[in-house]
Amino acid sequence: MGRYVIRRLLQMIPVFIGATFLIFVMVYALGDPVAALFGDKAPDPATAARIREDLGLDKPLWQQYLHYMGNIFRGDFGTAFNGQKVTELMASAFPVTMKLTFVAIVIEIIVGIALGVVSGLKRGRPLDTSLLVLTLIVISVPTFVSGYLLQLLFGLKLGWVRPTVSSDAPLNELILPGIVLALVSLAYVTRLTRTSIGENARADYVRTAVAKGLPRRRVITKHLLRNSLIPVVTFIGADIGALMGGAIVTERIFNIHGVGYQLYNGILRGNTPTVVGFVTILVLVFLVANLLVDLLYAVLDPRIRYA
Partner 1 sequence: MPDKTAEKVTTATGEPIPAAAVATDAGPAPAKARSLWSDAWHDLRRQPLFIISSVLILLLLVIAIWPGLFTSASPRQADLAKHYLQKPQWGHFFSPEWLGYDGQGRSIYARVIYGARASITVGVGVTLCVTVLGTFIGMIAGYFGGWIDSILSRVTDVFLGIPFLLGALVVLNTFEKRSVWVVILALAFLGWTQIARVARGAVITIKQADYVMAAKALGASTTRILFRHILPNALAPIIVVATIALGGYIAAEATLSFLGIGLTEPTISWGGDVSAGREQLRNAPFTLIVPSVMVSVTVLSFLMFGDAVRNALDPKLR
Query: What does the binding site for partner 1 look like in residue numbers (CB under 8 A)?
Result: 14-16, 18-19, 22-23, 26-27, 30-31, 136-137, 139-145, 148-149, 151-152, 156, 195, 241-242, 245-246, 248-249, 252, 263-264, 267-268, 270, 275, 279, 282-283, 286-287
Q: Which is nearer to partner 1, 85 or 123 (CB)?
A: 123
d(CA 235, CA 271): 32
Of 219 and 237, which CB lies nearer to partner 1 in the complex structure?
237
Query: Among residues 20, 36, 21, 25, which one has the least CA distance to residue 267?
Result: 36
Q: How many CB atoms lie within 10 A of CB 169?
A: 19
Q: Which residues contact 51 (CB under 8 A, 6 or more apart)?
A: 34, 37, 43, 57
Compute the distance between CA of residue 163 and CA of residue 170 in angstroms, rounded to an integer. Answer: 14
Nearest CB to partner 1, comparing residues 8 and 85: 8
Q: How far is the CB of 77 from partner 1 (least distance, A)?
A: 17
Specify the residue, 27 or 115, whose C-beta has the smaller distance to partner 1.
27
The least distance separating partner 1 from the CB of residue 144, rounded to whole angstroms, comes to 5
What's the closest the beta carbon of residue 30 comes to partner 1, in angstroms? 4
| Least CB distance to partner 1 at residue 17 (A) | 9
Complex with partner 1: residue 219 or 232, whichever CB lies closer = 232
Q: Where are the alpha helices (H) located in 56-112, listed in sequence order?
A: 61-73, 86-107
Helix (H) or strand (E) holding 166: none
266 half-sphere exposure, CB direction, 13 A CA radius: 26
CB of 148 to partner 1, least distance (A): 6
The nearest distance, CB 272 to partner 1, in angstroms, is 10
Q: Which is nearer to partner 1, 117 or 188 (CB)?
A: 188
User: Rounded to 10 degrees, what is the CA torsion of 57, 59, 60, 64?
Assistant: -60
- Smallest distance, Å, CB 268 to partner 1? 7
Q: Estimate to the nearest angstrom the gap between the alpha carbon of 40 and the chain centroid.
A: 34
Rounded least distance, CB 216 to partner 1, Å: 26
Q: How many CB atoms lie within 10 A of CB 188?
A: 19
User: Closer to partner 1 at the Cβ: 46 or 158?
Assistant: 158
Closest CB to partner 1 among residues 104, 282: 282
Say how many C-beta atoms besides its own lie within 10 A of residue 283's C-beta. Answer: 20
At its nearest, how many Å lie between partner 1 and the CB of residue 26?
5
The long-range contacts involving 175-179, CB below 8 angstroms and separated by at least 24 positions, are 175/103, 176/150, 176/151, 176/254, 177/100, 177/103, 177/147, 177/250, 177/251, 177/253, 177/254, 177/256, 178/100, 178/103, 178/104, 178/106, 178/107, 179/104, 179/107, 179/150
Phi and psi at residue 85, to the nearest 5° = -65, 135
Residue closer to partner 1, measured from CB, 29 or 46: 29
